[in-house]
Structure formats: structure tokens, C-alpha cells
Amino acid sequence: MANFMSTYLVPIAIVAVAIVLLLGLVNMMRGGSPNTSQKLMRLRVLLQFVAIVVIMAAIWVMRG
């Protein structure tokens, strides 16, 4: 289980955060809709929370 989490779930969570961050930056640089920027920022914060939970769970599983 620890190997699965550290090999697959952690990188997926990190890549998801990076993609949403890049989408937000592209939207901001192109002068896109402020509503879209706000939605992307909220999604990024949510994904960061999920990524932290996944990382902490992987550490906890690897420790035990």
C-alpha cells in the first residue's frame, strides 16, 4: 500500500496542483475572466489540501 501511494498517488496529486496552477497563470497572463481565475484559485487550494493529506497518509503508512 505504501509503495502504491508513494509511486502513484503522491505524484498524481502534485501534478494535479501544478496543472491547475499553470492554467490559472495562463488565464491571468492572457487577461482572462476574473471569475475563472477565482475558480481556479479555489480549485488549487482544494487540490493542495488533498495533496497534503495524501502525502501525510503515505508517510504514515510507510512509517508503520
10-residue averages of pLDDT along the chain (64 residues) = 87 97 96 95 98 95 86
Res 6: pLDDT: 85
pLDDT at 5: 84
31 three-state secondary structure: coil
Query: Residue written as cell 482572462?
Result: 32
Q: What is the Cα–Cα distance from 23 to 55, expressed in whole angstroms?
A: 23
Measured from the Cβ of residue 45, the count of other Cβ atoms closer than 10 Å reads 12
Q: What is the residue range of 41's domain?
A: 2-63
Name the phi and psi angles at 46, rounded to 5: -65, -45
Cell numbers standing for residue 1: 500500500
> Is this prediction's pTM over 0.85?
yes
What total number of domains does the chain contain?
Answer: 1
